[in-house]
Amino acid sequence: MTDDTVQNTEAEGGIEMEIEEDEGGGTGDAPENVVRFPVNATEHAALIRMVEALLFAAAEPLDIDSIASRLPEGADVGAAIEDLQQTYEGRGINLVRVANKWMFRTAGDLGFLMEREAVEQRRLSRAAMETLAIVAYHQPVTRAEIEEIRGVSVSKGTLDVLMETGWVRLRGRKRTPGRPVTYGTTEDFLVHFGLENVGDLPGIDELKAAGLLDGRLPPGFDVPNPSESGGEGDGEFADEEEYGAALDEHLAQDAAEDK
C-alpha cells in the first residue's frame, strides 16, 4: 500500500468520524436556541391549525382551558398560541389576549378602515311629513308661516327631526321686521326623493292624478311652485358665524317651548 493510499484512507476515516459525531450530537441535549415540543413538526402544525380554527369561529374570546378541552389530550396549547401569535404579527388581524383570553382582532393601525356611517331608518310622523311638504313647496319659509299654513303650531322637535335627517336646513333671514329665520330643503332631500331640483316636485294636477289630493278641494286652493333660489325678501346668511347664531336661536326657541 502506497503512502497516498494510506492518506486517502485516513481522510475517509476522518470524514466518517465527523459524520458519526454529528449524528451522535443529535441525540444529546438540544442547544438553548432550539425550542423542543412533545410532538413532531407535522403534529405541531396540525395543532396550530386546530387552535386557529377554534379562535376564528369563536363568538367570544377563549381561555387556554376552553381551547385545550377541544384538542387532543396532552397538546401544548401555549406553544401553539405563541406560534400562531407570531404568524399573525404584522398582518391585518392579530391574535391578542384580553382578560386572560385569546381572540382575533383587527390590527390597531387599521381600525379606521372599519369605520362606516350607518343609515338609521326613521319613520316620520304625519306632522313631520306635513311640515316637510310645506318647507319644500313654500321655501324659504319661516316657522310662523309653517304654522299658519298647517293651521296648528309646530310641535317641539318636528323641525329638529327634519334637520337631523338632513332634509331641512336653515336658509337665511327674511328681510322683514324681526328678521325671522327661514327654512328650506337640502341636497340630501333631492337625492332621497330622486329630484334634480325642487322645481321637479309634482304640481297640483300630478298630485290629483296620484290620488294624493282630495278631489273636493276648497276654492282657491293651489300648490305653489317651489324655488330653490329663494323667494322675494329672502336673504342668505352672511357667514358661518351668523348661521351659528341663527341655529342657537332655533334651539333656544325649542327650549322655551319645553318650559
Q: What was the pLDDT predicted at 9? A: 44
Q: Which domain range does residue 83 map to?
A: 36-112
Do 164 and 247 have their domain in common?
Answer: yes
* Cα distance between residue 183 and residue 162, in whole Å: 11
Question: H or E segment at 105?
Answer: strand 101-106
Each as own residue / partner, the long-range contacts of residues 192-198 (CB below 8 Å, 24 or more positions apart, any chain) are 192/167, 197/228, 198/136, 198/139, 198/226, 198/227, 198/228
Do 105 and 160 have their domain in common?
Answer: no
Question: Which one is predicted more confidently, 259 or 139?
Answer: 139
Do 137 and 233 have their domain in common?
Answer: yes
Count CB atoms within 10 A of the CB of residue 137.
Answer: 19
Sign, CA torsion 118/124/130/131: negative
| Predicted model pTM | 0.48
Q: What was the pLDDT predicted at 238? A: 65
**What is the average per-residue pLDDT within 129-143?**
87
Residue 176 lies in a domain: yes
Residue 103 lies in a domain: yes
Do 241 and 132 have their domain in common?
Answer: yes
Rounded to the nearest angstrom, the gap between the alpha carbon of residue 151 and the centroid of all alpha carbons in its chain is 42
Residues 6+ apart with CB under 8 A from 48: 80, 83, 84, 87
Residue 205 lies in a domain: yes
* Cα distance between residue 136 and residue 184, in whole Å: 7
Do 82 and 140 have their domain in common?
Answer: no
Do 143 and 243 have their domain in common?
Answer: yes
Structural domains of the chain, count: 2
Residue 10 lies in a domain: no
Exposed, middle or buried: residue 81 (CB in 10 Å: 0-12, 13-18, 19+)?
A: buried
**What is the average per-residue pLDDT within 4-27?**
43
Q: What is the mean pLDDT of the chain?
A: 75
